[in-house]
Amino acid sequence: MNPAGFSPGILVFDTETIELTVYPSPKCRSIISGYALVNASVGERLVLFAHHYLQVLGPEPPPTDADAESSWSWTTMEPSPPFDSSYVSGYALHPDGRTIFMSINNWKTVKSGHLDVRNCTFSFDTERLEWTHRGCSNTLPAWKLCNEVLFNNDLASNSGLTLVYMGDSRFCLVESRLPKDRDFRTYLRAVTITSFGLKSDKFGELVFIVILKDSFLAANRGSTPS
């Protein structure tokens, strides 16, 4: 684990280099508490969508004489999304490496003086900075299920699960739970990261492939478990 260069900061695990490092907190950190967050890795950048704020953190800049904390920061992207992050029910990355698709559930807007409730899809091009409405559809593809168990289902110790799509049919599951023999007041969390892939075999069945699984202890200094 690299030394913490930012305080407060956010922990970031690199599934390629198997390294844990500390990134600076987003600019909207003080106002996003309680809002649903959308986090995505797009190319060599991290994208955070919280409330009406869309922010991006690029690759670490080359070393300079200036303080790294002031040179490495989040940038707010414009235009703002036409909806807030609480309406996002799912997202996916396009193979072009720059476009994010978001499914919107029960988005309420006023149209021609009437309340319009929509379930639809938008996309955002992170290079052109364009939001595009992709239409509405209530027909979902059939579910395909695997038998693998990826996390501890003990709700008493489990304090958080986050599933992140990495692109190219790869996913990363982050499980945060209380360490054994410790009470809820501890700052320590046992974090397990599972990187896996999905593909269909010649019979059309879903195949699960574990790429990486690792566990470590991390200290949480906030008021709530992370």
Domain boundaries, the chain: 9-135, 158-219
Pairing mode of beta strands 158-167, 170-177: antiparallel
DSSP, collapsed to helix, strand or coil, labels residue 177 as strand
pLDDT of residue 96: 85
DSSP, collapsed to helix, strand or coil, labels residue 28 as helix
How far apart are alpha carbons 225 and 162 in whole angstroms? Answer: 13
Which CATH number fits the domain 158-219, given the four candidates 3.30.420, 3.10.450, 3.30.1050, 3.40.50? Answer: 3.10.450
Distances (CA, A) of 123 to 56, 78, 99, 138: 16, 14, 7, 17
pLDDT by residue, tens only, the chain of 226 residues: 444 455 567 777 776 776 777 777 777 666 555 567 787 878 778 888 888 888 888 766 666 555 544 556 788 888 888 888 888 888 888 888 889 998 888 877 756 655 566 788 899 998 888 999 887 766 666 777 777 777 766 654 566 778 877 777 888 888 877 777 666 565 667 788 888 888 888 887 888 887 778 777 766 554 343 3
How far apart are alpha carbons 20 and 1 in whole angstroms? Answer: 5
pLDDT of residue 110: 59
Does the predicted model carry a pTM greater than 0.75?
Answer: no
